[in-house]
Structures are given as C-alpha cells and as structure tokens.
Structure 1
C-alpha cells in the first residue's frame, strides 16, 4: 500500500520535514491563514509539530496530511517534476467531535490563493476520501466549515457531503458536514483518482 496519491492534475505525498519551509510559507499566507487557522499566526515549531503528528497518524491510523504539487499536462509519472511547488495541503486528522463522544476524522485542505477556483480542492479531497473509505476503511469523515467560507460549503456539497446533525452549530458558528463510507463507495465519486 502506498500513501502517495495521484489525480489527473495533482500528486499528493505525505508531508514530511522536507516540506517544512514550503508549508510555513503556505500556512502563513494571510488568505490561507484566515480560513485555516482563524487568522492566527503559525510558527516554525508548530509546523514541525503538525508534520510530526501527520507522520505519527500515518503510522498508527493510516491517514494524515498530503502535500499537493501540480502534475504538468500529459505528465505520466506519479511524481511531479523535480522542484514542483507546493500548492496546498489536503488530508485527514482526528479531532474531538462536536456531537459525539470520541474522535471524529475530519477532512481539511488549503490551497495557494492563485489556485483557487480551479476545482483543485475538490479534486484533492475526492482522492483523500477515496483513500479514507477505500484503503483505511473509515466509516465517516466530517468537515467543519467556517461560516465565512461559502466556497468550502460548496466543495463539501460537490463531494457529496451533507449537513451533519441538525441543531446548533459549533461554538464559533461553524457548520458540520459528513460523508459516510457506504454512501461514498456507492456513489462512485472518486472519478479523479488514477492508479
């Protein structure tokens, strides 16, 4: 089993220390930070901790975070060209669920602002959900959607994720979406993933 994923336009590799500087640059960008870290600044130490947590999660849970790099048109290799820039991150992480006792698995992603509006978030997220349900065998994956990010709600809906749990939203006004394994595998939504 390989933790490397590929779509028609992207190569997804588990993040590692080799990505530290690129991740710091990406996650400290003001537009990315606003949606992913609620505007809070992230330090090099925190980036290293996120990488270490992802590596541990891959080893123990079978999932983590992937660095997104573009595959040039017509490129047949699973690897991007050497020196291809990191254009974002997509992946899964465990977190305390707002409604259940215990841990949920949440999908998250971030993209460089110059890549917004190209369908890459949905493409990467489909590959991650295919992996979550088809390889890891997760039962459910959730998404916490920032109320200021209507685009994230559209991405979740395009993935077949549905509002999860009626009632009060999270403490910060977040909406919660979810996809389940049986619905995902039955829908054949993973059309972007390639062998």
Structure 2
C-alpha cells in the first residue's frame, strides 16, 4: 500500500519510476552524493534499480522511498512541482529497515529532512507496526547526525568501512 503523507510544510508521496530523471539529477548532485553514495556518481540504471526496489518494498512491506515537496502557504494546500528532497526506509537483509534522506541543497537548513522523516517514522511505527528502524551516517556528516538525533534516534555503534568512519543509530516507537 502506498501512502501519501502530509506535514505542516510538506507533502510526501511514494517515489515511482516516472520520477527517475528528477531523482537521478538529485542523487548525482555532488553535495548529495558526497555522503549518500560515498561520493560516487550513480548511473541512471542504478538509480532505476533503487526506485524499482522501493516500489517493490511499498508493495511487500508498505514502506519505501518518498519524495517530498514544499506545500504552498495558501488555502489551496497545493505543492511545488519541484522535488524538495527524499526520505524513507530501505530494506536491508537480516536487519531492521534503514532510514535514508536528503534535501535539495538550496533548501538545506529549513528542517525539511527532519520533518519528512518524522512523518515517515510515525507512519511506519504506528500504522505499519514496525518495532525498530536503523540508520548509518558518515561521521563527518554533522547535518545528518543532527537530523537523526533530533528524531530521537540513539547511537548504537561506530565502525570504519572502506576507510570511511560510520556512526550507527536506532529508533523504536515511543509507547
């Protein structure tokens, strides 16, 4: 089941293969890929594979990757047609789903990643009944660490993977 979510400032909708061009452009932005893909430029096919996996995850588990858009401040409640960012959960074999998010660089500092991810976590914890999600973040990525900690995620460990220091986080629903 796909789910459209709303926050005070954002509208979130599941990402589809029709979004490939816009998502690939966002994911190949040097400021986004620096930490998301270990500074590797993702091919269009790899981006397509990610979106296909997300679509399958929505069908199988009810979650995947959402795109978020700024909502207009007027009474119409419409939204911008430009993607402001992405957030969601990716299935990881033998572990809890992993949180992933990113915001278009000109919109950094507005709290959109936290707002969108908070809406998704509420949905997966309280509507889908997940009992835990995890995240890993590059240690130098202080902005994403701030988002994770602002969401109430707690550190669970640290490792160096491919010469990159990673921090691990987890979150459970509050009861």
Give the TM-score taking structure 2 as reference length.
0.92
- What's the CA shift for 1:68? 1.1
- What's the CA shift for 1:169? 2.2
Q: Of 166, 171, 175, which aligns to 2:167?
A: 175
SS of residue paired to 2:91: strand
Aligned partner of 1:18 in structure 2 is 18
Q: Give 4+ residue runs of structure 1 displaced > 6 Å after superposition.
A: none
Give the TM-score taking structure 1 as reference length.
0.83
1:160 aligns with 2:157: no
Aligned partner of 1:93 in structure 2 is 90
Structure 1 unaligned regions, length at least 5? 97-101, 187-195
- What's the CA shift for 1:31? 0.3
Aligned partner of 1:8 in structure 2 is 8
Take 2:52 and 2:69, find their aligned partners in 1: how far apart are those partners? 20
SS of residue paired to 2:92: strand
Deviations 1:47-105 (A, max 9, x none): 1111110010000011100011111113554x525xx1012110001114xxxxx2221
Higher relative contact order (CA 8 A, sep 6+): 1
Structure 2 unaligned regions, length at least 5? none
